Amino acid sequence: MREPIDKSQLTKKHRYRLGGAEYRAIDMLSKIVIIYYLSIIIIFGFLYRIYIAASGTAKDILRSSNENGPVDPWFFSFFMSLSALNNLGLFLLDASMVPFQNEYAPLIFTIILILAGNTAYAIFLRFIIWCLYKMIPSSRVMLKETFQYLLDHPRRCYTTLFPSTQTWWLLAIIVVITLTELISVLSLNYWLPALASLSWGSRIVDGLFQSVATRNAGFSVLNLGELNPGTQLVYMVAMYISVYPVAISMRNSNVYQVKGSTIIATAKEVFD
């Protein structure tokens, strides 16, 4: 490395050392994002399948919900995992998630997947990087420095990875919007047929699911046409503003943004 050599002669190890912290951080992040995406699909695909295998109700739902025949459990599990993570809103059952109104496990799995693939993606990703940083021993100086750089300068490496302040702000806004929708569902519909047949546990989980899914993915566990008009209005507003928390976090953390200055002059100064 002391003598000048052509860049084609550099090995991957040489480039890794010479590239600096930013090069190593981007290289590491490219691996984390791919592993993040694939591992979530696979893990939750198996979680759905385990739930179906352990639940007689789920087996009956897949067997009898569609008029054109039963749905294969394996295909359903991984299709659902992929659809929820990508916020596609596609579902293999004609009635969407309505048959699972009293089944907590698939609703909770889907909530996590919807958030992990959309509005809370930056939160999940930063949390993973922070955990990896904490688990790396101090003796691995270069690797430790790589994750430290990702935490300190996230926007230099990735568009949807934010600094700590913007990440906490994003989390707070998501919680506030979701709780607002949940409270509107429970308070404005508790006497209506849409919720009358459900226990309070199912009402809370269904309301939470509908709050997250309506704003992002398009799944449905409640008949939206039977809900109070006030709840429908809240959902409309939430869908309209759903992109703003991420967009504002992205804008506020933009390290490349050039802020122009405005010169204001009085009429006397202009004519003088």
> Nearest CA to 50 among 71, 78, 70, 69?
78
Q: What pLDDT does residue 84 have?
A: 92
Tokens of 79: 């299709």
Q: What pLDDT does residue 11 have?
A: 62
Q: What pLDDT does residue 78 have?
A: 95
**Separation CA 126–CA 135 (nearest Å):** 14
Domain ranges of the chain: 11-252
The tens place of each residue's pLDDT in the chain, 272 residues long, gives: 444 445 555 566 666 665 577 888 888 899 999 999 999 999 999 999 999 999 889 999 998 888 888 889 999 999 999 999 998 888 888 888 888 988 899 999 999 999 999 889 999 999 999 999 999 888 888 888 888 989 988 888 888 888 888 899 889 999 998 999 899 988 888 888 878 788 888 889 999 999 898 888 888 888 888 888 888 888 888 888 877 777 777 777 776 554 444 444 444 444 44
Does the predicted model carry a pTM greater than 0.85? Answer: no
Which whole-number Å values give the CA distances from 186 to 164, 179, 194, 214, in the listed order?
Answer: 33, 10, 11, 15
Structural contact between residues 92 and 76, judged by C-beta atoms closer than 8 angstroms: yes
Q: What pLDDT does residue 168 have?
A: 92
What long-range pairs does 177-182 form, CB within 8 A, spacing at least 24? Answer: 177/211, 177/215, 177/238, 177/241, 177/242, 177/245, 178/208, 178/211, 178/212, 178/215, 180/234, 180/238, 181/207, 181/210, 181/211, 181/214, 181/215, 181/234, 181/235, 181/238, 182/207, 182/208, 182/211
